[in-house]
Amino acid sequence: MRVSLLDHGYLEAVTFWGSEEEIISAARMSTGKGFLGWGPFHHETCAYLHALIAYMEGSSDVASPDQVPCDCTPKPGDEKLLRYLWENEHHTPFEMAGATFEVQAPIFVFREWMRHRVPFSYNEMSARYTPLPDLNYVPSMERLALGSGSSKQNQSLGGKGLDREAAKEFRETLVAINLVIEGIYQKALRTGVPKELARLVLPVGRYSKMRVSSNLRGWLNFLKLREAPNAQYEIRVYAEALHKMLAEKFPRTLGLFEEGR
Amino acid sequence: MRVSLLDHGYLEAVTFWGSEEEIISAARMSTGKGFLGWGPFHHETCAYLHALIAYMEGSSDVASPDQVPCDCTPKPGDEKLLRYLWENEHHTPFEMAGATFEVQAPIFVFREWMRHRVPFSYNEMSARYTPLPDLNYVPSMERLALGSGSSKQNQSLGGKGLDREAAKEFRETLVAINLVIEGIYQKALRTGVPKELARLVLPVGRYSKMRVSSNLRGWLNFLKLREAPNAQYEIRVYAEALHKMLAEKFPRTLGLFEEGR
Amino acid sequence: MRVSLLDHGYLEAVTFWGSEEEIISAARMSTGKGFLGWGPFHHETCAYLHALIAYMEGSSDVASPDQVPCDCTPKPGDEKLLRYLWENEHHTPFEMAGATFEVQAPIFVFREWMRHRVPFSYNEMSARYTPLPDLNYVPSMERLALGSGSSKQNQSLGGKGLDREAAKEFRETLVAINLVIEGIYQKALRTGVPKELARLVLPVGRYSKMRVSSNLRGWLNFLKLREAPNAQYEIRVYAEALHKMLAEKFPRTLGLFEEGR
Amino acid sequence: MRVSLLDHGYLEAVTFWGSEEEIISAARMSTGKGFLGWGPFHHETCAYLHALIAYMEGSSDVASPDQVPCDCTPKPGDEKLLRYLWENEHHTPFEMAGATFEVQAPIFVFREWMRHRVPFSYNEMSARYTPLPDLNYVPSMERLALGSGSSKQNQSLGGKGLDREAAKEFRETLVAINLVIEGIYQKALRTGVPKELARLVLPVGRYSKMRVSSNLRGWLNFLKLREAPNAQYEIRVYAEALHKMLAEKFPRTLGLFEEGR
């Protein structure tokens, strides 16, 4: 499962772990019951689930929800508990699932990404050990027309709205300077400048590559910040692709996340 | 996969994620190559792997290990890189795998367990929401004969060596007081004392239950501290069971861990 | 600065670090200016601060706020930026200050407290190394009349409302059982049961002691969860005392926190 | 307290918190005693401290070290406990102190620095919000003669040893390309390219600025990795300056750190 992003980037799912069933099971630790099931739930009739919710809301008048038998058929309906967890910010059960991705993106995108510390893990290609491939991000004409931030904020962050001519010129300048820089980089490597110093000329628009792993709680926080309208377009592109991949594996949770925005 | 531990405890594997192959792939991010393979590696002949190791050790004289072709057949041998990572404390790739367990153990064991903060996630049964089942840890005669800490430290931590008679008496006292406490607890619940206060009488030897998740780096650190000879016997029992389960899924890594002790 | 809490507990401030000035300075890193000053700010006239806020809101039309001179006298008014940070959830600058406390509280309170993992640090008295002093929490009559959760939730969490007689009986039972337990504990220690096992009988209402440290962001999150109406009364008492101590040192930040509830 | 580093960088101490006395006090939580004192300790005569160490080593035969009176004069000598903590990897007490710094360094140095996640906090200047000042790292002739890694590893990491001529040429090329890049950057900003995109041309040798905070345990781990001979020269320069500043405030701890290498 790999999607291409920007001009030379990509996002690829490596591993998902846990499941929405395990999120429910973990949350149920507090009262001792496990995952009951998804799907059609006769909420007029299931006394147990009512009692459980009443309990967690603090409005119950029984000593324990477990004293109330679950006599309805079919008994599932754990969507309701998942929603309760999400809407009341009981986030720890969402740490029981997660995902690892491989990402190729420009360095300035990685710089923003790595501001996420806990619970993220990173392993990135190092220009100290291997020459970075000659891939550089050159924004498209459409991107340059966007300005910064969201389409509502075309004028923001110092972008006064870029006309077609200026955009074209910036693109051409980028392509040209990247050629020059690559020439300098290769020559430096050839003449014996250590890779760790030759890289000094590489621009933050250069592509790098990494594996990144986090639990689902971390990813949802990432999406909250990086899909926001004031996030930079380039990282938003990655966040939106991530969102889609997570939604395939954890559809109910991402559904709640979308509702909550 | 569930094993019984102590008198009423257990450890059950819920989920493993990632793999030793992914640990290698993540480590290879730094030089751009992925997982090559395990198994018989003709190290006299594989120029690439030699060059790679030389690189990471800083004794290489080529511009990049990728310039050196891997021409040997068969080419695997990634055990060597795994060992290099472990022995040189490059621990971040070991964050790319992990495991979730369900645990039933006495509260005092959970208290030690939860000193592990990053990268651990916990969801525990709450005596505030549900009455704790009447399960209490009563150490066996063999355990009491052990004293505290390891068998080498029988006399330590205030244990002057417990004779058979004193051990028998302590066990009987525990059983008796637990009966009394359970009576008080049940009566308090019956007469309307809120669960969150009725629990005040519950001893730290009472069993509770939780789900706990961490990446492999976290688990290896847990094993290092909790399998040590000066760790308390009760948590060591859980650590050793964990060790076995992890070793089935990540045999090479646990092998290196065992060597390193 | 030590306050007594519950029947035998206390909270004592050990160290505060950083300041609200440093929070501002850290936030200003993003645009290069440092702390300007608190106090009366002529917001009709200070062009620079207007430009800065416009910038961070993404509605600026200058290339950099630094191009706009701050010509007004007096120029302070950094309350405005502090408010902006807080209200827009830019929480990282609040990691530049923090506090360490010494706390004596019942074990069940510590158990809730230690669910806070990042960025908290703990050093607790260990019943494995030293016998816990004979201090046990016995809720007051007023506390028992409260029921669980907030006063609005008297009936919740299994507390059906405790009449005076039942409350009195529960208190007397607690005092009696604690006497019995202490007798068993002391005898076990005397007859050579290691401290790490003798403690099995100690109830979660027993007092322990710790030092706990966190940055201000962590403490504010702690207050959010532990001062909430559905938090248990006993930890709320500690949270409220903490709140007061933090408010003396970081008055503007706690003011914003209070507003936001 | 600010020191200049590299050609345009600096390190400045903003705040220290906690103290070695508080590290001791936190460690003493486990047995209930506080900080006793530094200085000349008659270890032939102080029964209490002997008992305490014996305890923590698990070789004691008294029920509690607190039963042993400290009758010697003078009684201090807490260096001994500090050493015990350090040498036995009891690291949590070292989380009770810490420091915040302001740093100006090239982006590639920040990229390595920010691999340290827990317990570090960062606030960095953002090229999205403010144009980065025209400061670029150009390695000195001496630095270029060093090669990569430590002086023992002149030949490593792809550096075949740089002769004077090649070094001079690389420096001149860097200066020239930085001039060109700055021209492109300024023109892009002038013609309305948003700052968040104009920055694409900025090289990773460009200086940025940040505030960074961590507890002492985190800083010691930073020093261990970044003062190592195989760390890159540029980050080693910052680590060594940090080391000196920390040693002024926490001399005994840094002394133990130095011994342990």
Q: Could you say which DSSP state residue C185 is in? A: H
CA distances (Å), origin B190, targets A63, A193, B131, C7: 8, 79, 11, 25
CB A178 within 8 Å of CB A8: no
Record: contact C205-B201, CB cut-off 8 A: yes
Give me the catalytic one of D143, D199, D217, D226: D226
Q: What is the DSSP string of B52-66?
A: HHHHHHT---SS-GG
Give the Cα separation of D16 and C5 in Å (integer).
30
Q: What is the nearest CA distance from C29 to chain D, expressed in angstroms?
A: 5
pLDDT at D116: 96
Give the Cα separation of D113 and D108 in Å (integer).
9
Residue type (1 letter), B146 = L
A224 touches chain B (CB under 8 A): no
Q: What is the nearest CA distance from C212 to chain B, expressed in angstroms?
A: 12
Record: fold of B2-18+97-260: Gyrase A; domain 2 (3.30.1360)
Q: Report A:63-102 residues touching C (Cβ under 8 A).
A: 63-64, 92
Give the Cα separation of B37 and C188 in Å (integer).
57
Name the residue among C29, C98, C129 with its Cβ closest to that of D123: C29
Which chains does chain B touch, 3 or more C-beta pairs < 8 A?
A, C, D
- Burial code (b: 16+ CB inside 10 Å, e: under 16) for D61-70 equals eebbbbebeb
For residue range A15-36, list pLDDT tens digits in order. Answer: 999 999 999 999 998 776 777 7
The verdict on ipTM greater than 0.90 is: no
Record: contact C148-A58, CB cut-off 8 A: yes
Lowest mean pLDDT among A10-24, A51-65, A178-192, A216-230: A51-65
Tokens of B91: 């621990």
Q: Which residues of D touch A232 (CB under 8 A)?
A: 128, 196
Name the residue among B148, B170, B192 with its Cβ closest to that of C159: B192
- pLDDT (average), residues A118-146: 95
Nearest CA in chain C to D186: C63
Residue C4: Cβ within 10 Å count: 11
Record: contact A96-B121, CB cut-off 8 A: yes
Give the Cα separation of C28 and C246 in Å (integer).
23
Residue A175: Cβ within 10 Å count: 11
Give the Cα separation of C143 and C205 in Å (integer).
15
Record: contact C173-B184, CB cut-off 8 A: yes
Q: Could you say which DSSP state residue A49 is in? A: H
CB-facing half-sphere around the CA of A229: CA atoms within 13 A: 9
Record: contact C18-D18, CB cut-off 8 A: no
Name the residue among A118, A148, A160 with its Cβ closest to that of C118: A118
D205 touches chain A (CB under 8 A): yes
Q: Which residues of B touch A64 (CB under 8 A)?
A: 130-131, 195
Alpha helices in D29-163 (DSSP H): 47-57, 79-87, 107-113, 141-146
Task: List Cβ neighbours of C35 (8 Å cut-off, separation of 6 or more).
Answer: C21, C22, C24, C25, C28, C78
The verdict on whether B226 is a catalytic residue reads: yes
Task: List Cβ neighbours of C161 (8 Å cut-off, separation of 6 or more).
Answer: B192, C147, C154, C155
Say yes or no to pLDDT of B191 above 60.
Answer: yes
Q: Could you say which DSSP state residue B151 is in? A: G
pLDDT at C150: 47
Residue closest to A97 by CA, chosen among A193, A19, A2, A175: A19
Q: What is the DSSP string of B29-48?
A: TTTT------S---TTT-HH
* Beta partners for residue B213, in sequence order: B100, B121
Number of cross-chain residue pairs from C and D with Cβ atoms under 8 Å apart: 128
Active site residues of A: 226
Name the residue among A17, A64, A215 with its Cβ closest to that of B130: A64
Record: contact A123-B29, CB cut-off 8 A: yes
CB-facing half-sphere around the CA of C213: CA atoms within 13 A: 26
Residue A125: Cβ within 10 Å count: 21
Q: Report B:133-172 residues touching D (Cβ under 8 A).
A: 148-149, 153, 155-158, 160
Residue closest to C184 by CA, chosen among C207, C200, C169, C165: C200
CB B185 within 8 Å of CB B199: yes
Q: Quick one: residue A53, left, alpha or beta (phi over 0 = left, psi -120 to 50 = alpha)?
A: alpha
Record: contact D201-A174, CB cut-off 8 A: yes
D60 touches chain A (CB under 8 A): no
CB D51 within 8 Å of CB D68: yes
Which chains does chain D touch, 3 or more C-beta pairs < 8 A?
A, B, C
Give me the catalytic one of B226, B236, B252, B261: B226
Record: contact A148-D194, CB cut-off 8 A: yes
- pLDDT (average), residues A155-162: 55
Tokens of D21: 């006395």
For residue range A198-254, list pLDDT tens digits in order. Answer: 999 999 999 999 999 999 999 999 999 999 999 999 999 999 999 999 999 999 999
For residue range B11-35, list pLDDT tens digits in order. Answer: 999 999 999 999 999 999 877 677 7
Q: What is the nearest CA distance from B119 to chain D, expressed in angstroms?
A: 10
Q: Which residues of D touch B92 (CB under 8 A)?
A: 115
Domain residue extents for chain C: 2-18+97-260, 20-93
The percent of residues above 70 in pLDDT, for chain C, comes to 87
Say yes or no to pLDDT of C70 above 90.
Answer: no
- Burial code (b: 16+ CB inside 10 Å, e: under 16) for A197-222 equals bbbbbbbbbbbbbbbbbbbbbbbbbb
Alpha helices in B94-249 (DSSP H): 107-113, 141-146, 164-190, 195-198, 216-226, 233-249
For residue range C191-209, list pLDDT tens digits in order. Answer: 999 999 999 999 999 999 9
Tokens of A168: 């074209």
CB-facing half-sphere around the CA of B105: CA atoms within 13 A: 27
Lowest mean pLDDT among A163-172, B29-38, B180-189, C124-133: B29-38
CB C6 within 8 Å of CB C143: no
Give the Cα separation of B202 and B133 in Å (integer).
11
Say yes or no to pLDDT of C105 above 80.
Answer: yes
Confidence of residue B47 (pLDDT cuts 50, 70, 90): confident
CB D160 within 8 Å of CB A194: no
* pLDDT digit string (tens) for chain D, length 261 residues: 799 999 999 999 999 999 999 999 999 987 767 777 776 554 455 677 677 777 777 777 777 777 777 666 554 578 889 999 999 999 999 999 999 999 999 999 999 999 999 999 999 999 999 999 999 999 999 999 987 754 444 444 555 568 899 999 999 999 999 999 999 999 999 999 999 999 999 999 999 999 999 999 999 999 999 999 999 999 999 999 999 999 999 999 999 999 988
Please confirm whether the linkage preceding C203 is cis (ω < 30° from 0).
Answer: no
Please confirm whether the linkage preceding D40 is cis (ω < 30° from 0).
Answer: no
Interface test with B, best of A211, A217, A249, A250 (most B CBs within 10 A): A211
CA distances (Å), origin B60, targets B49, B64, B67, D148, D241: 12, 9, 12, 12, 30
Record: contact C58-A157, CB cut-off 8 A: yes
- pLDDT (average), residues C225-253: 97
- Global pTM? 0.87
3-state helix, strand, coil in chain B (%, to 5): 50, 15, 40
More confident residue, B133 or D161: B133
Number of cross-chain residue pairs from A and C with Cβ atoms under 8 Å apart: 39
Please name the helix (run of DSSP H) or strand (run of DSSP E) that holds residue C188, with its range, or none.
helix C164-190
Q: Could you say which DSSP state residue D158 is in? A: T
Give the Cα separation of D12 and C25 in Å (integer).
13
More confident residue, B56 or B6: B6
Number of cross-chain residue pairs from B and C with Cβ atoms under 8 Å apart: 157
Q: What is the nearest CA distance from C76 to chain A, expressed in angstroms?
A: 24
C-alpha dihedral (C100, C101, C102, C106), degrees to nearest 10: -120
Lowest mean pLDDT among A34-43, A203-212, C83-92, C222-231: A34-43
- pLDDT (average), residues C12-32: 92
Say yes or no to pLDDT of B56 above 80.
Answer: no
Give the Cα separation of C158 and D148 in Å (integer).
67
Give the Cα separation of D206 and A201 in Å (integer).
9
Q: Strand locations in chain C, DSSP E?
A: 2-5, 9-17, 98-106, 121-124, 207-215
Give the Cα separation of A201 and A9 in Å (integer).
21
Interface test with B, best of D62, D91, D156 (most B CBs within 10 A): D156
Record: contact B213-A213, CB cut-off 8 A: no
pLDDT at A157: 53
Give the Cα separation of C6 and B222 in Å (integer).
35
Q: Report the CATH number of the A2-10+98-260 domain.
A: 3.30.1360.170
Q: Could you say which DSSP state residue C92 is in? A: G
Record: contact D192-A118, CB cut-off 8 A: no
Say yes or no to pLDDT of C74 above 60.
Answer: no
CB D143 within 8 Å of CB D6: no
Q: 3-state DSSP call for residue C135? A: coil
